[in-house]
Amino acid sequence: MTKSMAGKVVIITGASSGIGAACARLLSEQGCKLTLAARSKDKMQALADELDSDSLVLRADMTAHADIDNMIARTLHRFGRIDVLLANAGQYIPGPFADGDIQAYATMLRLNVDGVLRCAHAVLPSMQAQGSGDIVVTSSISGHIDIVGEPVYSASKHAVQTFVHTLRRQAAKDGIRVMSVAPGPVANPMQGLYDADEIRRAVEDKGSHLASEDCAEAILFMLSRPPHVTIRDLVILPQINRV
């Protein structure tokens, strides 16, 4: 059994590329109304121009509290409700901790953890008032195991996993589902892959990476389950994976 997504209002953060852009394309095909939020407005506008759906494009930085509040307010003003928050914006910094830039690590934590918490906190009142809603967080396999090559990133995703598991139990009584999708390596700009041929080789030839579209299809599966079904965690890995 699947639930129709037609007419659902979806906020996608980090919508300018990668998983966010792939979700926008797929959810548009399902008849969703979209708020696309990221720092690169030009990229999002080009994406919105491709889509058939009613789309609101907002330049928003998920480390800026006012931008998050504005994103929620503008979406409610435009569409009258919010059915889905896809908290997808994030940053990836791997490498030896001692050699890293501590300020860059702090910024990543603000985006990967604080940004997710603030987006969820901002959207909950409207979802509670309507008695329904889905919050899906883009996590990582790094939130399920300790990856030695990415200590701070892994810590940020472990924090996100704990938040999803506990908020889910608090929000369930209000008809709100809280879920996470946890991919392994994804062939997109976060992994330093931009060229279409490079991405194809990583996904199809080497089998070392997922495509952003694989993650989008997993998220659609989660969202389209009937209301009594919650996919709390969905881990998705490429065929060849080191973890």
**Are the CB atoms for 182 and 141 separated by under 8 Å?**
yes
Give 81: exposed, middle or buried? Use CB within 10 Å, 0-12, 13-18, 19+: middle
Say how far apart CA 213 and CA 230 lie, in whole Å. Answer: 21
Between strands 33-38 and 9-13, the pairing is parallel
Nearest to 91, CA basis, from 71, 78, 105, 80: 105
Sheet holding 233-236, edge to edge: 55-59, 33-38, 9-13, 84-87, 133-138, 176-183, 233-236
Q: What is d(CA 13, CA 44) in angstroms, rounded to the nearest whole number?
A: 11
Q: Which residue has the tokens 């307010």?
A: 73
Question: Of 92, 105, 153, 194, which residue is the catalytic one?
Answer: 153
Active site residue 105: no
State the catalytic residues: 153
